[in-house]
C-alpha cells in the first residue's frame, strides 16, 4: 500500500506536535489492515511521535516492531489514541478509553463512519494539523447501565450508543418504565431502546426516533413496534435515571451497543444513568455534525444546487 502524500513543510517552520505518545487501535480483521496500520505508524514517526499499538492489534497484525499496550495501559500512558476501523470499532474502544480522558481520533476503514470520520486517504494531511492542536473537540456522553435482580446488581456495563431491551421469541414483552423516580407507563412492544445522542443515528433511528445533536444533554426513549401506536419516541433529560422493569414476555435480553448482552427474567430492572465521564472525540478543524448527517444519510441526493 502506498502511503498517501503528506503536506510538505520545512522542518524549521513546522510547529511541534502536542500529542507525543500516540497509540493505534485497529480493526485488524479487515483486508489490508496490516499495511494501513503500518502506514499510519510510520507517518506518526515522521511527525515526531512515539508510537504504540494496542496489544490485540499488534498480535493479530504481526506489527511487533512497535511497543504494544493494553487499553488500560494506553489510558494511563498515551496522549492520544487513533482508532482505525468503523463505528463498531470506535464503540468498543471508546467505552474503555473514556474513563481515562484520552482523546480519540477515528480513521475510517468501515462503512458509515459517523464517529470515524477521517478518511484513510486523507489521514496524512488531516493528522498533520490535528497532531499540532488544530482540532475540534466533540465530547460524547456515555450510559452507565446496571441490571438489578432482587435489589442486587447482577450486571454492569457502559454503552456509547444504546441500551436495548428486546425479545428473542415470538410474542411481545411487557415493560414498566420509570423516569426520575416517577412512573411513566407500562408498554407492550417488541422491545425498547434508550439511546444517547451518538446512538440516535443507530437502532433508535430505525425505530422512528429523532436525531439528537451531540451537544444535547438528553436520551431518546424509543419503543420497538409498540402494541399501542400512540407510544411514540420521547426525548428525556439525561440527568434523571431511567428504570425499565421486565413485567412479562419470554426469552428477553438487554443489549448494550449490540456488542454485549445479558439475559433477563421477570422482575429484573435495567437502570440507565449518565456515566461520570465522556469520550473525548476529536475532529478536524471545520468539522460539522450536519456535514456528517448530510453525507452519511444522503440528504442531498437528487437535489439541484445542494451545496451552500
Q: Give dist(CA 122, CA 6) in Å, integer.
A: 9
Short-list 23, 24, 159, 20, CA closest to 94? 159
Q: Please tell me the chain's helix, strand, coil percentages from 3-state DSSP, rounded to the nearest 5.
A: 20, 40, 40
Question: What's the CA gap between 167 and 10, in Å, rounded?
Answer: 60
Q: Which one of the listed residues 38, 39, 87, 117 is annotated catalytic?
A: 87
Report which of 141, 144, 222 is spatially closest to residue 187, judged by C-alpha positions.
222
Q: Name the strand (E) or helix (H) holding 94.
A: helix 87-97
Active site residue 87: yes
Residues, the chain: 308
Residue 138 to residues 128, 213, 217, 261, 280: CA-CA distances in angstroms? 19, 11, 13, 28, 6
Report H helices in the chain.
Answer: 33-46, 55-61, 71-77, 87-97, 123-130, 203-206, 289-296
Residue 76 grid coordinates = 494511563
What residues contact 8, with CB distance under 8 A and at least 6 apart? none
Q: What gap in Å lies between CA 47 and CA 29, rounded to an integer?
A: 27
Positions annotated as catalytic residues are 87
Amino acid at each position: 500500500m502506498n502511503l498517501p502524500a503528506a503536506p510538505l513543510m520545512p522542518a524549521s517552520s513546522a510547529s511541534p506536535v502536542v500529542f507525543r505518545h500516540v497509540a493505534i487501535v485497529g480493526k485488524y480483521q479487515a483486508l489490508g489492515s496490516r499495511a494501513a496500520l503500518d502506514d499510519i505508524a510510520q507517518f506518526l514517526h515522521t511527525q515526531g511521535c512515539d508510537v504504540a499499538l494496542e496489544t490485540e492489534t499488534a498480535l493479530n497484525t504481526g506489527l511487533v516492531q512497535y511497543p504494544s499496550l493494553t487499553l488500560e495501559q494506553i489510558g494511563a500512558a498515551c496522549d492520544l489514541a487513533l482508532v482505525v476501523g468503523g463505528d463498531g470499532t470506535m464503540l468498543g474502544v471508546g467505552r474503555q478509553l473514556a474513563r481515562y480522558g484520552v482523546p480519540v481520533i477515528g480513521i475510517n476503514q468501515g462503512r458509515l463512519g459517523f464517529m470515524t470520520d477521517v478518511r484513510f486517504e486523507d489521514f496524512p494531511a488531516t493528522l498533520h494539523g490535528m497532531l499540532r492542536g488544530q482540532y475540534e473537540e466533540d465530547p460524547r456522553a456515555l450510559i452507565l447501565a446496571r441490571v438489578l435482580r432482587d435489589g442486587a446488581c447482577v450486571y454492569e456495563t457502559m454503552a456509547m450508543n444504546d441500551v436495548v431491551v428486546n425479545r428473542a421469541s415470538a410474542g411481545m414483552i411487557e415493560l414498566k418504565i420509570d423516569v426520575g423516580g416517577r412512573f411513566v407507563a407500562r408498554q407492550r412492544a417488541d422491545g425498547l431502546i434508550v439511546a444517547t445522542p451518538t446512538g440516535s443515528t443507530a437502532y433508535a433511528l430505525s425505530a422512528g426516533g429523532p436525531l439528537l445533536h451531540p451537544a444535547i444533554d438528553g436520551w431518546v426513549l424509543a419503543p420497538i413496534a409498540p402494541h399501542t401506536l400512540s407510544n411514540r419516541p420521547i426525548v428525556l433529560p439525561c440527568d434523571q435515571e431511567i428504570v425499565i422493569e421486565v413485567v412479562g414476555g419470554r426469552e428477553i435480553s438487554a443489549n448494550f451497543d449490540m456488542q454485549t448482552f445479558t439475559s433477563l427474567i421477570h422482575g429484573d430492572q435495567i437502570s440507565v444513568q449518565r456515566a461520570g465521564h465522556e469520550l473525548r472525540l476529536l475532529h478536524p478543524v471545520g468539522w460539522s455534525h450536519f456535514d456528517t448527517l448530510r453525507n452519511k444519510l444522503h440528504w442531498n441526493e437528487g437535489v439541484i444546487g445542494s451545496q451552500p
